[in-house]
């Protein structure tokens, strides 16, 4: 399908062989799976839950879910459908992202209309400018992009700190309810949760591998925190 002389949709599957599928699975799908699951599903849902408390589903919030604004199931289906439908037509693989959501929120986006406007703008650039749009984008100073990324990162950090303290408060209230007293050491709970968060972040930054960081954080949570008990309770459910 061509528009203004430029290919808008192509048959990207015509030269795909069984070996191509196998190589793509080993070199593309498996390495990407942890990153997509953590950044494009779990983090997005948790971030939306934190940034938009007024949009939470009361029935899910009663269950202490961290995806009461948009569920992990809904985001997973969205990512899957985008790729199943668009990639065979020549699109690059697509996903959601916590960084994009944080950046859009920091710059003022509060409703879905902002994403629609962004999408329409990209479509118009691709259709009417085509390859010329790359020249326009290349002219954008790296310093401007760096500042935008830094602002998005700061938004994620501030939200992460907020979530950390909320988790500490919830765990403190839960422990007080179970033990029936008010002598709960909140600093110890904060230290435990902060250790898990810092180990996770440190491994991701050092190795540049999200799944290694998540695995390291989970191991620390099992050894140093209540991860094993939580895992057993989850299995029993």
Query: 68-108: per-residue pLDDT in tens?
Result: 999 999 999 999 999 999 888 888 888 888 888 888 888 88
8 A C-beta contact, residue 38 and residue 99: no
Q: Does the pLDDT value for residue 36 go beyond 70?
A: yes
Q: Helix 43-51 and helix 142-179: axis angle, to 10°?
A: 80
User: What pLDDT does 182 receive?
Assistant: 62
pTM above 0.85, yes or no: no
Q: How confident is residue 237, by pLDDT bands cut at 50, 70 and 90?
A: low
Sign of CA dihedral 174, 178, 182, 186: negative
pLDDT at position 180 is: 67
Give the pLDDT mean for 213-225.
Answer: 86
Tokens of 92: 């690059």
């Amino acid at each position: 399908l061509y528009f203004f002389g430029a290919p808008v949709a192509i048959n990207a599957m015509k030269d795909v062989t069984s070996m191509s599928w196998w190589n793509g699975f080993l070199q593309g799908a498996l390495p990407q799976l942890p990153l997509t699951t953590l950044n494009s599903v779990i983090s997005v849902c948790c971030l939306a839950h934190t940034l938009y408390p007024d949009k939470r589903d009361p029935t899910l919030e009663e269950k202490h879910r961290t995806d009461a604004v948009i569920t992990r199931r809904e985001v997973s289906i969205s990512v899957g459908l985008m790729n199943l439908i668009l990639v065979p037509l020549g699109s690059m693989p697509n996903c959601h992202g916590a960084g994009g959501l944080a950046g859009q929120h920091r710059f003022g986006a509060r409703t879905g209309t902002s994403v629609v406007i962004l999408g329409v703008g990209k479509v118009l650039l691709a259709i009417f400018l085509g390859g010329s749009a790359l020249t326009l984008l290349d002219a954008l100073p790296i310093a401007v992009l760096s500042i935008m990324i830094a602002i998005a990162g700061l938004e994620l950090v501030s939200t992460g700190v907020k979530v950390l303290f909320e988790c500490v408060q919830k765990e403190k209230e839960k422990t007080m309810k179970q033990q029936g007293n008010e002598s709960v050491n909140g600093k110890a709970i904060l230290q435990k949760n902060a250790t898990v968060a810092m180990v996770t972040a440190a491994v991701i930054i050092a190795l540049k591998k999200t799944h290694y960081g998540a695995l390291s954080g989970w191991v620390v949570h099992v050894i140093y925190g209540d991860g094993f008990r939580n895992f057993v309770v989850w299995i029993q459910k």
